[in-house]
Structure 1
Amino acid sequence: MSHEFKQLALRPELLDNLNSLGYQEMTDIQAACLPLALEGKDLIAQAKTGSGKTAAFALALLQRLNVERFRIQSLVLCPTRELADQVAKEIRRLARRVHNIKVLTLCGGMPIGPQIGSLEHGAHIVVGTPGRIQDHLRKGTLELGNIHSLVLDEADRMLDMGFADAISAILAECPGERQTQLYSATYPEGIEAISRQYQRDPQRITVSRTHSESNIAQQAYAVEGGEQEKIELSHHLLAKQQPSSCVIFCATKKQTVDIAQSLNEQGWYCLALHGDMEQRERDLSLLRFANGSATVLVATDVAARGLDVDTVELVINYDLPRDAEVYVHRIGRTGRAGRSGLAVSLVNDRQRRAMGDIEAYIGQDIEWAEPPRVEGMAWVDQRPEMITIGLDAGKKNKLRPGDILGALTGEAGIEGKYVGKINVLLFQSYVAVKRAVANKALKQLQAGKIKGRKIKVRKISRPNV
């Protein structure tokens, strides 16, 4: 079925411009979102970079805009300065035949003085990062009382970077009578919470499959020996699959420590997680695994309850759980957000009956596969993509994610695409950066000041066992 832009009730100048740009047919996300957005509906849409989502929300903003009313009428929030610049550029391109329109970018890592000057001259659309938007609201230099259109772009990434509180504070400053469009590549719990609180009867758009059990391949391996055979089998399985993230579930605290130590000695970057750890240690292990600076997490079921990671590629049931419902909960850690996942169970003779109970509970047979053996494998170097940097300051020091992001990306610093999750706790903060720029990031933070003062920083690069 044809989905042409000319079918939409857009202003003639917008349609003329789209035609001049060679935009004829809508992408899937545009065809799904634009008609609803043009009706003024709130949207929660699953869309990745490159899907055409920017044009989807930008055209709706521009259609509704009153250029003669020189007030800020639309706000687009983005996780990084690079994305904000890209979005603002696309909006200007789509609006080039709409006369006298002003689009302003407000991002951290840039001097705030010129931004204040630009705001004094007025604007129609503001595109910015949460931290810097909050700065302007505190200073009274930004007025959001005339907003009728709000967009949260890459909302899941903003939550990953620790901007949940900032987003809530900004949305509280906007009028209740407004259209809110929320675009996210995944649907973590935090996205659902924002939608429930700040959207009105949102239309949910998904153009690709989300998580279902059909995304998860399930296998069982027969184990004849004891613990050593299971550890070796886990090592071979990891070496064959090469996952960027894996959770190994086992029954006891001792097993988590023994397995993690053994795998670390063989070159895997592995963290243990069990109920006897202090809460601070548990939180840090979960944080480091979730931000991609550890490849393998070995955990008991009790300790893993707080685990919320969308990108687990492999789950290993080192021990089968007694309860079939727990099995379903475990394997549900993988295969999320439309991705495929693999769940493998190591089963000895005593657990055959438990395996049968699980198959009956889920209503399907689990494939019994030949255990993998990777030849010539003694030691691997499976360093994770990210490194965690710790800062000795947190919420009690008025530190915010935007302050850390600004310190990293400002003044010839690091591009935002190299910065991962930012977690600001009460007295400590943690930021994940790509391994390739970790040393530069460390030096950048050590050399500069955050909130006007020096903060002690350190690289957290060793496992916890």
Structure 2
Amino acid sequence: MENKKFSELGLNENILKAIDDMGFEEPSKIQAEVIPVLLEGYDVIGQAQTGTGKTLAFGAPILSKFERSEGKIFAIILTPTRELAVQVNDEINRIAKYTRVKLLPVYGGHPIERQINALRKGVDIIVGTPGRVLDLIGRGIIDLSSIKFLVLDEADEMLNMGFIDDIEEIINNCNSDRQTLLFSATMPEEIKKLAKRYMKSDTKHISIVKNSITVSTVKQYYYEVKQQDRFESLCRILDVDEPSLAIIFCKTKKGVDELVEAMQARGYNVEGMHGDMSQNQRLNTLRKFREGNLEFLVATDVAARGIDVENVTHVINYDLPQDTESYVHRIGRTGRANREGVAYTLVTPREYRALKQIERETKGRIKRKEIPTIDDIFLAKYRSMVGRIRETLEGEKYKRFVPLAAELDEEFNLVDVAAALMNMVYTKEISYEYTENILGGTLEYTRLFLNVGRVDKLNPKLLIQFLNDKAQVDKDDIGDIDILQKFTFMDVTEKAAKSILKHCRGKKLMGRKVNIEISKKK
């Protein structure tokens, strides 16, 4: 498959000409497998890692089959973020270079009146976010009753962002004889159910993911941390390793903002990227990172898609990713072009099982590392300084300071002078006000079971408030909280567990009597 040429896939001449202009010599695996199947008229589930050319995989066949019908929308493409909507729209515009297809991106944060005016003038293909598309359907501006193609791009991310209900409502506004294309990096159960409900029985599932599930050029390690020590642990790791170019992953946009702010306050050369940032912001940040003017990039999984920077030395999972495939996508950002890369993951004791699952599925080894002590940091900085001193002594520039050093020699011991200068450099380069040589040991947690869950509208904030009100338990005594559909598990300190069992059992939580027990070990 991978040796096929674009000209052998069944695309029309105008599309092939545009692809040639874009500089692509041969199709990627996902393109080679998906394009012919879409042209044959099948519904398709396409599963592949980011950066494999999914947009062209669905855009080229849709444009090849394009037929204008006055006043009717030919295709709609749903994406999780406005940045991705713009990106997909731009890519399809390039593929449509030699056609007369009219495209329009529609998304929030942009005046809806302009989008309405453009839609009224006639649009063939819409690329949009679920919320804005639903808004335009509700206003009677978008009519999907005659579309030929519905594309769900980055379906797993739309699910993670809570768009599942919006997507179903949009699908219910579409005609049943359309072709449906679902593209996703991962395949959680909800996505499988969505596909089963709304796609044809002969849907083709094309998966490229498993071919790249291991990353042999990346050395993988994990650090076990306490939640409250997560940031200091990161600082210690960075102070010892001194990465030249690193991507740090967080689960949420808020997490990115908070970590960037904390790192900048400590003097790190860092910026963030996530879905709420403008396209210009993201492009500027990426340009600085690519050119080496930025040492650290903190990003969410969605924002990092499409980042291809060769010299990334470290990937750090500040938050554990949702699943194995996301982990592989993340650490694949380093170790490019057969260079060695390093991937670090910070995990709490509760997350350890999830990490071992990732290790099993990738058939790789994620080795444990101890959080650096102040002594480790001191030694690393000393070695770094000595290396730079040796390098400077091999040149000539330092010699202009020799007369000044000679003056100091008359008043001080030059060994003391060298030590004082090294202390000045060390103090400047240390990012965190470390107080303890060894970061505190792991907290021992007791795992509790509660018979209240998502179905009762429970969330972590309400649960912590309940525990504080009834048992005077502070949030610092609480570890991980897992709220499932009908029940909840949470990790608490031994002291907090006793107080909760004594004061909270039988009390009303979310309108029902709560039963709390110590969970049996799995």
TM-score of the two chains, using structure 1 as the length reference: 0.53
Distance of 1:12 and 1:266 partners within structure 2: 55
**1:135-185 residue CA offsets vs partner (Å, 9 max, x unmatched):** 111111110001111111111111111111111111111111111111111
Change (3 A) 1:265 1:77: closer
* Bigger relative CO (Cα 8 Å, ≥ 6 apart): 1
| Equivalent position SS for 1:334 | helix
Distance of 2:164 and 2:10 partners within structure 1: 35
Q: 1:334 aligns with which of 352, 355, 358?
A: 358
| 1:34 paired to 2:68 | no
Aligned to 2:207: 206
Contact 2:230 2:346 in 1 (8 A): no
| 1:83 paired to 2:63 | no
Amino acid at match of 1:55: L
| Equivalent position SS for 1:140 | coil
- What percentage of aligned pairs have identical amino acids? 32
Change (3 A) 1:314 1:13: closer
| 1:93 paired to 2:94 | yes
Contact 1:74 1:126 in 2 (8 A): yes
Aligned to 2:126: 126
Unaligned 5+ segments in structure 1 are 217-239, 247-258, 270-286, 298-306, 320-326, 345-370, 382-422, 431-460
Once the two structures are TM-superposed, the CA of residue 266 in structure 1 deviates from its matched residue by 9.5
Distance of 2:68 and 2:115 partners within structure 1: 21
**1:49-108 residue CA offsets vs partner (Å, 9 max, x unmatched):** 321111110011112211254410101001111111111111111112113x21111111
Contact 2:222 2:367 in 1 (8 A): no
Aligned to 2:195: 195
Distance of 1:147 and 1:93 partners within structure 2: 22
Aligned to 1:280: none
Contact 1:29 1:51 in 2 (8 A): yes
Change (3 A) 1:140 1:264: same
Contact 2:222 2:366 in 1 (8 A): no
Distance of 1:7 and 1:380 partners within structure 2: 60
Where does 1:195-344 land on structure 2 (aligned, <5 Å)? Answer: 195-200=195-200, 201-209=202-210, 241-242=221-222, 260=226, 264=229, 267=232, 309-310=323-324, 333-335=357-359, 342=366
Change (3 A) 1:7 1:186: same
Amino acid at match of 2:45: I
Distance of 1:428 and 1:114 partners within structure 2: 38
Change (3 A) 1:55 1:266: closer
Aligned to 2:68: 67
| Equivalent position SS for 1:90 | helix
Contact 1:314 1:334 in 2 (8 A): no
Change (3 A) 1:135 1:462: farther
TM-score of the two chains, using structure 2 as the length reference: 0.48
Distance of 2:230 and 2:44 partners within structure 1: 49
Aligned to 1:253: none
Aligned to 2:112: 112
Aligned to 1:166: 166
Distance of 1:120 and 1:266 partners within structure 2: 51
**1:418-452 residue CA offsets vs partner (Å, 9 max, x unmatched):** xxxxx9x969899xxxxxxxxxxxxxxxxxxxxxx
Where does 1:169-184 land on structure 2 (aligned, <5 Å)? Answer: 169-184=169-184
Contact 1:315 1:330 in 2 (8 A): no
Change (3 A) 1:98 1:372: closer
Change (3 A) 1:215 1:59: closer
Once the two structures are TM-superposed, the CA of residue 462 in structure 1 deviates from its matched residue by 7.8
Where does 1:401-416 land on structure 2 (aligned, <5 Å)? Answer: none
Aligned to 2:150: 150
Once the two structures are TM-superposed, the CA of residue 15 in structure 1 deviates from its matched residue by 2.2
Change (3 A) 1:146 1:429: farther
Contact 1:315 1:331 in 2 (8 A): no
Aligned to 2:138: 138
Higher radius of gyration, 1 or 2:
2
Distance of 1:38 and 1:337 partners within structure 2: 34
| 1:58 paired to 2:54 | no
Change (3 A) 1:205 1:86: same
**1:319-347 residue CA offsets vs partner (Å, 9 max, x unmatched):** 9xxxxxxx9x8666424886956387xxx
Contact 2:73 2:125 in 1 (8 A): yes
Once the two structures are TM-superposed, the CA of residue 189 in structure 1 deviates from its matched residue by 1.9
Distance of 1:119 and 1:64 partners within structure 2: 21
Distance of 1:152 and 1:35 partners within structure 2: 19
Aligned to 1:11: 12
Distance of 2:54 and 2:153 partners within structure 1: 9
Distance of 1:339 and 1:79 partners within structure 2: 31
| Equivalent position SS for 2:358 | coil
Contact 1:151 1:180 in 2 (8 A): yes
Aligned to 1:433: none
Distance of 1:86 and 1:19 partners within structure 2: 20
Contact 2:319 2:345 in 1 (8 A): no
| Equivalent position SS for 1:241 | strand
Change (3 A) 1:317 1:155: closer
Contact 1:215 1:335 in 2 (8 A): no
| Equivalent position SS for 2:117 | helix
Distance of 1:71 and 1:30 partners within structure 2: 28
Distance of 2:127 and 2:113 partners within structure 1: 17
Contact 1:215 1:341 in 2 (8 A): no
Distance of 2:191 and 2:6 partners within structure 1: 30
Change (3 A) 1:79 1:339: farther
Contact 2:47 2:184 in 1 (8 A): yes
Distance of 1:111 and 1:289 partners within structure 2: 23
**1:265-324 residue CA offsets vs partner (Å, 9 max, x unmatched):** 99459xxxxxxxxxxxxxxxxx98998899579xxxxxxxxx9655578698979xxxxx
Amino acid at match of 2:107: C
Contact 2:372 2:438 in 1 (8 A): no
| Equivalent position SS for 1:66 | coil
Change (3 A) 1:316 1:58: closer
Change (3 A) 1:160 1:462: farther
Change (3 A) 1:14 1:309: closer
| Equivalent position SS for 1:209 | helix
Amino acid at match of 2:87: Q
Aligned to 1:403: none
Distance of 2:168 and 2:197 partners within structure 1: 9
Larger fraction in helix: 2
Aligned length: 293
